[in-house]
Chains A and B, each alone.
Chain A
């Protein structure tokens, strides 16, 4: 079945450093979503990518969808302590429900 994997599982950075998490699917995805979950919180939608090779930016966050639509990345420039949390990618499973990747847990040291 379709699986969505993410690397790294954990990332510790110094405040001001950049951070990237990668999402990989075993099958081609029609689209992909990214969510952020703060510690003790609930997942919050960040963005959806649909087109092959698509790049979207939200302030310091840059999202990319691979040309083959089997991978995606989230890059944060100059991390801040407010970026702490777990970042999930999610892709469609069997054309219906979304399967979430295992997430990348980001720690930012001040």
Chain B
């Protein structure tokens, strides 16, 4: 049983489109995250969501918006996709804020914008 699952695994789309990536965790964790990993493998946090508190990395464009229907899900919606959005997006979860306990990552979604 996968602890943190993301769908889709691959996503190819045209510039200007709107897309969503779904994430679900079955670990009972109360904090979820979205990370972006670029071609140089840099892992940058985009959002964390804990008990309805959203913490946004100030460098993330407002075209990106997380949506959490419940504690087990944190979806990522992206408007007006740009070429520079191409990357691997990882969802993760932890119990409490990351740093006190380990983070579990999903398998990643490779987004390619053409």
Contacts and interface: CB of A to CB of B under 8 A. Distances in A.
B97 interface: yes
A20 interface: no
Contacts of A103: 41-43
A interface bracket (residues with beta carbon within 8 Å of B): 20 to 34
Residue with the highest number of chain A CB atoms closer than 10 Å, among B98, B99, B102, B108: B99
Interface of A is mostly: strand
A45 B72 CA distance: 20
A59 interface: no
Contacts of B108: 42
A86 B99 contact: no
Interface of B: 33, 35, 40-45, 48, 55, 57, 90, 92, 97-108
Closest 9 CB pairs between A and B?
A45-B102, A100-B43, A42-B105, A92-B99, A98-B98, A43-B105, A97-B45, A97-B48, A42-B108
Given A91-B99, A97-B33, 15 more contacts: A30-B99, A33-B99, A33-B102, A37-B41, A43-B90, A43-B105, A45-B102, A48-B101, A86-B41, A98-B45, A98-B98, A98-B99, A100-B45, A102-B40, A103-B41
